[in-house]
Chains A and B, each alone.
Chain A
């Protein structure tokens, strides 16, 4: 890391115009502040490895059921196979998303989103904004939605999705999920070509903060991770999740068609101690282990489908039972 200096333009970012655009951390703060003003709970990143902000229970579980919810959180998202040893200026093993969930979505949701861009200094009249069809589906989570990728001067900066299903459950009401790619937006605002040249704050760059992670974790993900151990972890986590879910299922019988709401509510009151969240965390660990095994090239195409099915089964089962507790 370079010697700290206290001039405005960091010496670690050669050629960057001093303080052009927001620093990475200011960008995060501004967007969070904006969504806080829209009544969003500002949550913390989930403290487990996830592949996307969607997998945090703050999205996966909170979009289920009738209760309204609004939340925004940064989520470091790990995709082991995307690592490039810190050498590729645009690809990261771990990138940071800002995830916003609005349930139900307000009528002016698109405008709210566009105003958030103004909030971070983008004068929309001077740029080209397009909402291009991009329908999202996660086979592992049993989730899908319709929406767009938002393009800003040809750069994809956001995924905007109306969730229709999650954990195999049809959502009512639907939620809107807005996922900002923070590194891309920061690089755009600061007009730099490499993510590692993004100013994190006025003294340190993204590269200073994160390049070593990228190198070391690429080595781990692609070369060092012990495949045999990963399989063992996967099986242990899966088995434990299955056990928890089987117990929960016994405690939460399927409600009778007529007395659905009442029965479920009663079950919910009676069973707050069911560790469904524990089962879901084990499911998340399985999902991450699957991604690691994939990066190690340890999963054949045929096996792949089967393993996605296994993780999906845990996710769907959790969602089904969760909905009985929180109709």
Chain B
């Protein structure tokens, strides 16, 4: 009869951020082990719950013992098992005897190495109770933690100390020992509200969950989540808790019985920047900030206690006290930091290292300024904000020396922007400083203003070129300076703000600035290497973030003949044009792509594009009508591609290319490129090389062919 299995590993508080992954690995590892041990029944279902103090798994129907089965065992080679007369040898007898059988039971089997004898051996299923200890032990050990610790003389390692263990199969304890801990049937309730020992009669899941609940432990994370959400809604009091999924996840894993406690603070603190107040509440105290209907902060917060209620209001009172102290600190910093202007802080940047081998932040600030001054004039309306962007680039890092940023690192940039505003610098400057670290993730918000975008670009590109010059190039999971994130940011800013800037030119300016600074360890990286890296990140954005098909992305980016290949915005326009055209004429587009692939292959097989581009083809060697027709169809297209600068033009040119399906197919039907006449053959190859190159100016459609 199938039996339920209940396991609970009781630990000292496991770090919240690791709980989900640990519980998941434990449950799936256990299933793998149980299947491997042939104890898993077809009807079996597993469940898993966790709290900071426990990881628990349950399997509702485990086989009480393995099914009896027959196993084929292969013995000695047939040649050795039978003598010339066909009688079993001593070897055959011994082999059979090992399984309590006589040689008559042997039969012949073909093996890769020849013919052998084999027998069928009946195996009685083993009891689950005998097999489980090893299964559980292996599943537990496979829950490797990245930073395990030791805590007693047993030498057992885990992320935090293991203190108790429940292992029940039906109503029996599975005999099991991990380190100093012996498995039993006793679990523990909430640290201060529940019983310290709760005896479980059986492995019943519902009973386990109910027993814990009676002892103030909501073992199911979803139950804790619901309780927090309900508490937030009930305590908001007309205001709105700022939505914060990450904070909610954290609190679910920090509590066994969460209760929302509302606290208030002096409205006088609302003079402090909201960013600072929210960071203090959220980051340090794990509180939800509350917003009034018009988006302004309310002088109140919602804390989540690991309690059933706040009996005497002591928890509320204590949290209010702590928050008041923290806000007072922040106020002290905010006042103190404003004494010195950002410009005066530029001098302090000399003492803050950007990178041991790349000088300090003041040097970086100068480079950022020079870089934006090279970029901005390429844009329309540049005159309007040239001065202000320069100033913003210069001051962007000045908040690194402030107490507020030392205290709240995650507010870097924002603090600078707030200080700039407070000292009366133009809004353009303040906003640019405020948002120049954006985006913080591949889908995060990007700077909203042109000036902020320029400073953000300069900051990120400067870091990338600096690190490439030190050979710090991201590879695999190694990307200590988050260069990929910064490159993603560059691509998204240029694309989403429709800035047709060419990265190639920017890289050159940036590299020149480093070269002039003369850092010993810095070696000028190849422009192409930096560009390739930035292109690869555009591919990531196009494919993974924007969701375009990989072959279309490759057609645009993996295309050395493209015009404006160094400008992410152009690449984006081309990609959209390719996609739209392909959607409009799916059938013709596929045929054209197929024919273009054929065209490219022919040239490649004859030695490659470079070999046939010079001298150019000559129409006087055309001797077939299809050749002339194709030439007449392609020539205006190539001209249009040369001139195209925006999406409409790209789309129009691509429309034309889609219409090439027919002349291309006719050409390949009638024209034999490898003509015995050398002159004809070479002219055809020159023509195809030219056409391949010219038509790939927007996208190399041959990559889209299936």
Contacts and interface: CB of A to CB of B under 8 A. Distances in A.
A191 B159 CA distance: 36
B316 to A, nearest CB: 8
Contact of B329 (A88, A148, A301): A88
Nearest to B314: A126
A155 B306 CA distance: 14
A146 B149 contact: yes
Contacts of A131: 12-13, 52
A126 B316 CA distance: 11
Nearest to B161: A162
A139 interface: no
A70 to B, nearest CB: 15
B681 to A, nearest CB: 66
Given A126-B311, A126-B314, A153 B322 contact: yes
Contacts of B113: none
A165 B353 CA distance: 30
Contacts of A173: 152-153
A258 interface: no
B658 to A, nearest CB: 58
Contacts of B13: 130-133, 148
A152 to B, nearest CB: 7
Given A130-B306, A173-B152, A153 B314 contact: yes
B315 A155 contact: no
Nearest to A172: B150
A107 B180 CA distance: 9
A141 B669 CA distance: 80
Given A128-B307, A133-B15, A154 B152 contact: no
Given A126-B314, A154-B318, A107 B152 contact: yes
B318 A155 contact: yes
Contact of B147 (A89, A104, A126, A135): A135
Interface string B49-89: 00010000000000000000000000000000000000000
Contacts of A127: 307, 314-315, 318
B233 interface: no
B109 interface: no
A231 interface: no
Interface residues of B, number: 49
A128 to B, nearest CB: 4
B346 interface: no
Contacts of A89: 325, 328
A85 to B, nearest CB: 11
A164 B325 CA distance: 33
A124 interface: yes
A174 B151 contact: yes
A193 B318 CA distance: 11
Given A128-B307, A131-B52, A297 B351 contact: yes
B354 to A, nearest CB: 9
A125 interface: yes
Interface string B352-364: 1100100010000
B163 A107 contact: yes
Contacts of A148: 13
B254 A104 contact: no
A229 interface: no
B306 A104 contact: no
A256 B303 CA distance: 58
Nearest to B318: A153
B671 to A, nearest CB: 69
Interface string A288-301: 00000000010011
A17 to B, nearest CB: 13
A164 B318 contact: no
A142 interface: no
A105 B12 contact: no
Contact of B356 (A164, A191, A302): A302
Interface in A90-142: 90-91, 104-105, 107, 110, 114, 124-133, 135
A300 B353 contact: yes
B324 interface: yes
Given A107-B180, A133-B17, A155-B322, A146 B147 contact: yes
Between B16, B153, B315, B322, the greatest number of chain A beta carbons within 10 A of the residue's beta carbon is seen for B322
A193 B52 contact: no
Contact of A164 (B150, B255, B360): B150
B209 to A, nearest CB: 23
Contacts of B332: 84, 87-88
A84 B332 CA distance: 10
Contacts of B360: 301
B12 A110 contact: yes
Given A153-B322, A301-B351, A105 B151 contact: yes
B283 to A, nearest CB: 12
Contacts of A114: 191-192
Between B150, B311, B360, the greatest number of chain A beta carbons within 10 A of the residue's beta carbon is seen for B150
Contacts of B195: none
B315 A128 contact: yes
A134 to B, nearest CB: 9
A87 B15 CA distance: 36
A222 to B, nearest CB: 13
Nearest to A170: B150
Contact of A125 (B52, B193, B356): B193
B48 to A, nearest CB: 21
Contacts of B314: 126-127, 153
A173 B149 CA distance: 12
Interface string B185-200: 0000001110000000
B152 A193 contact: no
A128 B311 CA distance: 11
B353 A90 contact: no
A129 B192 contact: yes
Nearest to B329: A90
A130 B351 contact: no
B132 interface: no
A180 to B, nearest CB: 16
Contacts of A191: 317, 321
A46 interface: no
B356 A132 contact: no
A60 interface: no
Given A88-B328, A107-B163, A128-B307, 20 more contacts: A84-B332, A124-B191, A125-B192, A126-B311, A126-B312, A128-B261, A128-B315, A129-B191, A131-B13, A132-B13, A132-B16, A133-B15, A146-B147, A146-B149, A152-B318, A173-B153, A174-B152, A188-B318, A297-B351, A300-B351
16 contacts: A88-B328, A88-B332, A90-B325, A91-B329, A128-B305, A128-B318, A129-B192, A130-B13, A133-B17, A146-B147, A153-B318, A154-B322, A155-B322, A174-B152, A301-B353, A301-B360
Interface of A: 84, 87-91, 104-105, 107, 110, 114, 124-133, 135, 145-146, 148, 152-155, 162, 164, 172-174, 188, 191, 193, 297, 300-302, 305
Nearest first, the 3 A-B pairs at minimum CB distance are: A153-B318, A133-B15, A128-B305
